[in-house]
Amino acid sequence: MSFAQDFPQQRAIMRVYSAYRVALAGMILIALLFGPANSTLGITAPKWFAIAVTGYVLFATLALIIHTLFSTRYSQTQLFFEFFIDIGVIMLMSYCSGSADSGLPLLLIVTISAASITMPGQLSLAIAALATISAISEVAAHTLSERVSAQRFIVAGMTGTAYFSAAIAIRYLSGRIVKTQQLAERRRGDIEQLSRINQRIVQRMQTGIVVMSQSGQIKLINAAATELLDIPSPVTDNNHYVPPVLIDMARGTGNCSKVINIGSQHLDVHVNMSILEKSSDSDRLLYIENISKINQRAQNLKLASLGRFTASIAHEIRNPLSAISHAAQLLAESPDLPVADQRFAAIIQNNALRMNDIIKNILDLSRGRSSEPVRFNLSSWLQQFLDDWQPTNHTPLDIKIDSKLENDDVNVDRSQLAQIISNIAENGARHGAKSNGRAQLIFRCQKNLSSGAVNLDIIDNGAGIKPEDEDKIFEPFFTTQEQGNGLGLYLCRELCLANQIHIYYRRTEIGESCFRLQFSHPDRGTLAE
């Protein structure tokens, strides 16, 4: 029978056995010095017994120091030598005691047990064999100086049987214990691996997961929840708390579900809270879903069917629309056309162009290709893009790029990002020039504290969007401009969703009009909420 004994366990066993050896040697020495005069210890050869027990005390003390202070691995020779000395010294003291009543040979059972636990099977049986031979030899040695009864040989043989029985039994039990421990270690490793896998799955889930106490103290939170709740990540201590509205939910005594508006982005989220244990003061488990995105998807399904229908008739509208525009252009060029009629011809041309833009945007949506994301540095790409870009109406414009990030990599489709920024910048330049005579655009890159991804703020000096219209600007066909078609920002939002970018309107700290593009993390690729 063989099994692998770990060194820390082997060292711990030898420490305990060394302490036992010191205690045993010390007690024998005390019994020799202060014991009764008729004691059997050392009765035959007191001088040799005193030398043996004194040497044993010194050896036991030295062995305890070695096993306690030094952590080098044991060789089988070293262990065998220690147990060999134990057998030799104890049997010598037994011989010096002369009588079979000393009971010293029985002390070797502990030595044999320790050897069976710490040494391979063959060596442990060799120790038992040496102890048996020593027991029989000790009786045989007495026959040289005195007459010994045959019963003492029988006792020595039974003692040897006890040695082998103890060695085999301890060996078997130790093997079972070690195998059980190894199985437990493997199971622990499997559980730890499963725990790491579960943790990774939870962190990558799009649904926010929070485990918190009744007082709102966060015990576990994933990346999606930190983004939805605007909690700085990573959460590495117990000093983070959920928003007060969730603490109010946790004060209830049962499971509950609620839709709340939360965070600086004012997202509508559905919170499903359950109590982990039966007691009301146990931890709470929260599932947080962004229903704003769910509502967007529902609206996208409706608009997809509408887009397919409109795209099918867009081509049929374009042909007569081109004819109307061309006829209006020829009519306006007629020298005999009165001034009032020229104005009507101009109105026809302007509205024909507007209708053509609406059809073009609808066709772009219906033909929308899949995004082809590429990882690149946003600041460098933005500088190159703005060097080539100019507003269509040649509005006087000042552009500034504000980025102090060492790493502002994003993973999106370049052409679609160019279309998004071009549309937003075009609107900002138009409104800035209208309000101040000269437009000003600031492109500011900064880190998202909760996700570690990049945020791009596009700030203009226009009047901005009215608070009552902020929730409507991304709806199709909603516009506040007489010449607008209401599809520009809707198209931007659709392209953002295709590239896992969250777009929303906000005001800066000093009240400037700002559109924020919140990119997903370039490594995780999680959808921005």
Least confident span in 178-187, 452-461, 474-483:
474-483
Distance of CA 242 to the CA centre of its chain: 20
Task: Please give the residue that has the higher pLDDT: either 135 or 315.
Answer: 135
Q: What is the pLDDT of residues 313-361, one digit of tens each?
A: 676 777 787 888 878 888 777 777 787 777 787 778 777 776 776 666 5
Q: Which one is predicted more confidently, 367 or 400?
A: 400
Query: For the residues 267-280, what does the mean pLDDT come to?
Result: 80
Which residues on adjacent β-strands are paired with residue 284?
212, 275
- Contact criterion met (CB below 8 Å) for 60 and 25: yes
The dihedrals phi and psi of 372, each to the nearest 5 degrees, come to: -120, 80
In the chain, what are the domain boundaries? Answer: 7-186, 205-290, 295-366, 374-519
> Cα angle at 353 between 309 and 475, to 5 degrees?
50
**What are residue 225's phi and psi, to 5 degrees?**
-70, -40
Amino acid at 367: R
pLDDT digits (tens, 9 = 90+) for 459-490: 999 888 888 888 788 887 777 776 666 778 88
- pLDDT value, residue 491: 81
In 3-state terms the chain splits into helix, strand, coil percentages (rounded to 5) of 55, 15, 30
Residue 528 pLDDT > 50: no
Q: What percentage of the chain exceeds 90 in pLDDT?
A: 8
Q: Which amino acid does the sequence have at 212?
A: M
Whether 166 shows a pLDDT value over 70: the answer reads yes
Pick the residue with more confidence: 476 or 496?
496
Instruction: Provide the 3-class DSSP secondary structure of residue 271.
Output: strand
**Assigned token pair, 523:** 């490594």
Coil, strand or helix: which one is 256? Answer: strand
Residue 429's closest CA among 414, 442, 445?
442
Residue 4 scores a pLDDT above 50? no
d(C-alpha 205, C-alpha 224), whole Å: 7
**What does the pLDDT read at residue 1?**
43
- Given a cut of 70, is residue 62 above it in pLDDT? yes
Q: Would you place residue 77 in the very low, low, confident or very high pLDDT band (cuts 50, 70, 90)?
A: confident
Is the predicted pLDDT of residue 362 greater than 70, yes or no? no
Arithmetic mean of pLDDT, 59-70: 90
DSSP state for residue 263 in the 8-state scheme: T
Rounded to 5 degrees, what are φ and ψ at 446? Answer: -155, 165
Full DSSP string of 457-510: EEEE-S----GGGTTTTTSTT--SSTT--S-HHHHHHHHHHHTTEEEEEEE-TT
Out of 39-53, 200-214, 451-465, 472-486, least confident range: 472-486
Parallel/antiparallel/unpaired status of strands 397-403 and 439-447: parallel
Residue 475: closest CA among 462, 492, 460: 492
- The pLDDT assigned to 513 comes to 92
- Mean pLDDT over residues 502-506, rounded? 89
The third-level CATH classification (topology) of the domain covering 374-519 is Heat Shock Protein 90 (3.30.565)
Q: How far apart are CA 334 and CA 194, in angstroms?
A: 81
Q: What is the mean pLDDT of residues 168-187?
A: 85
Q: From residue 502, how far is each of 125, 211, 354, 522 by CA, in Å? A: 73, 26, 29, 14
pTM: 0.43
Q: How far apart are CA 53 and CA 61, in angstroms?
A: 12
Fold of 205-290: Beta-Lactamase (3.30.450)
Residues 6+ apart with CB under 8 A from 374: 411, 412, 413, 414
Confidence of residue 178 (pLDDT cuts 50, 70, 90): confident
96-130 pLDDT, tens digit each? 887 556 778 888 888 888 888 888 878 888 888 98
Per the prediction, the chain carries an average pLDDT of 81
pLDDT given for residue 527 in this prediction: 46
pLDDT average, residue stretch 27-55: 83
**Among 42-46, 294-298, 377-381, where is mean pLDDT lowest?**
294-298
Cβ atoms within 10 Å, residue 84: 17
Beta bridge partners of 277: none
- CATH domain 295-366 topology: Helix Hairpins (1.10.287)
